[in-house]
Amino acid sequence: MTIAIYPGGFDPITNGHLDIAIRAAKLFEKLIIGVYNSPDKYLLFTTEERVELVRQAIVNQPNVEVEAFNGLTVDFAKKVGAQVIVRGLRMSGDFVRDFDMAMMNKYLFPELEVVCLMATLKYQFLSSSLLKEAASLGGNIDNLVPQHVAVALRRRSQSKM
């Protein structure tokens, strides 16, 4: 069985992330979305909240699971028996960062392959950071995230005021 991981912060998951996950789920027998627990980074949602938001977003994907992880991505891959890391690329800036990361991961775990999927055109600009900024300023983000994420973002933005 080919197991792939799709690691990230997902703070929060966007339709761009979801598009990559759904496409990757068609390529691999099992996809595990790894929600990175990053205690040293400011995050809008806790790890538990991000895991739950992702779980709700992929509820109709039978071969996709969600799991939080700490530490190196390659260690998470080894723990879950993954042979592949999936990455989504939006623009050239993503490529440079992901290329460097892929080379380090290859050094640390030579058997692990990296598969990069190009972001769908309508999500090329979309990032969680931009999304959070737009939501906090009252922007309409309804077509950029699953409905339950839009609700959570609005609720969190209102509570920060």
Q: Is 129 a catalytic residue?
A: no
Q: Is 128 a catalytic residue?
A: yes
Candidate list 17, 50, 87, 132, residue with the active-site label: 17
Candidate list 41, 92, 159, 160, residue with the active-site label: 41
Cα 62 to Cα 30: distance, rounded to the nearest angstrom: 9
Q: What is the DSSP string of 65-92?
A: EEEEE-S-HHHHHHHHT-SEEEEEE-SH
Q: Is the peptide bond before 12 cis (omega within 30 degrees of 0)?
A: yes
Q: Which helix (H) or strand (E) holds 5?
A: strand 3-8
Q: Is 17 a catalytic residue?
A: yes
Candidate list 50, 87, 90, 132, residue with the active-site label: 90
The tokens for 157 are 């933005």
Candidate list 50, 87, 128, 132, residue with the active-site label: 128
Q: Is 26 a catalytic residue?
A: no
Q: Which helix (H) or strand (E) holds 93?
A: helix 92-108
Contact in structure between 16 and 126 (CB atoms under 8 Å): yes
Positions annotated as catalytic residues are 17, 41, 90, 128
